[in-house]
Structure 1
Amino acid sequence: MHRTQIYLQDTVYEQLKHKSRLVGISISELIRRAVEKDLNKPDHNEARAFFDALTPLESFKTTEPEQYVNDIRSGSRILRVEE
């Protein structure tokens, strides 16, 4: 483990202090968890690649998304688009 120093705004420090007491862990541990969680988030490009690689279900292969939504809306009293 490495030791480092950071400067925090007073309001951020007070929020960290309050949350660390609620959770029952040190401010350092709270910061470590927050940083680790942020670093482990998939970045936007990875998420985009994941969704681009998805393929529609076989039953939806020939379905146009906009027409599908319009068909659903026209069949619902709540979602009906007034023309």
Structure 2
Amino acid sequence: MHRTQIYLQDAVYEQLKHKSKVIGVSISELIRRAVEKDLNKPSSNEARAFFDALSPLQSYASTEPEQYVDDIRNRSRILNLEE
């Protein structure tokens, strides 16, 4: 583990101090968790690549959402039993 020093705005520090007491971890641990969470989330470029890979969804491009849902509801055995 490496030690580093950062400067925080007073309001951010107070929020960290309060949250650390509420959940029972140190401010350092809260910062480590936040940094790790941020580093592990996909970047916008990775997210764009993910959605671009979903090209099979293009087959629904001309589908009207309301009609699609109505068709599913009409075929539902559960919904038809309630009538």
TM, length-normalised to structure 2? 0.72
Q: Distance in 2 between matches of 1:18 and 1:24?
A: 10
CA displacement at 1:48 relative to structure 2: 0.5
- Structure 1 residues not aligned, in runs of 5+: 77-83
Is 1:37 the counterpart of 2:30? The answer is: no
Aligned residue in 2 for 1:8:
8
Q: Report runs of 4+ in structure 1 exceeding 6 Å deviation.
A: none
Partner of 1:56, secondary structure, is helix
| Pair 62,13 (structure 1): closer, same or farther in 2 beyond 3 Å | closer
CA displacement at 1:63 relative to structure 2: 5.0
Q: Which has the higher helix share?
A: 2
1:9-38 alpha-carbon deviations (Å, 9 max, x no partner): 111100000000111000000000000000
How many residues are aligned here? 69
Aligned residue in 2 for 1:24:
24
Residue 28 of structure 1 aligns with an amino acid whose one-letter code is S
Residue 10 of structure 1 aligns with an amino acid whose one-letter code is D
Instruction: Output the aligned Cα RMSD.
Output: 2.4
Q: Tell me the percent identity.
A: 72
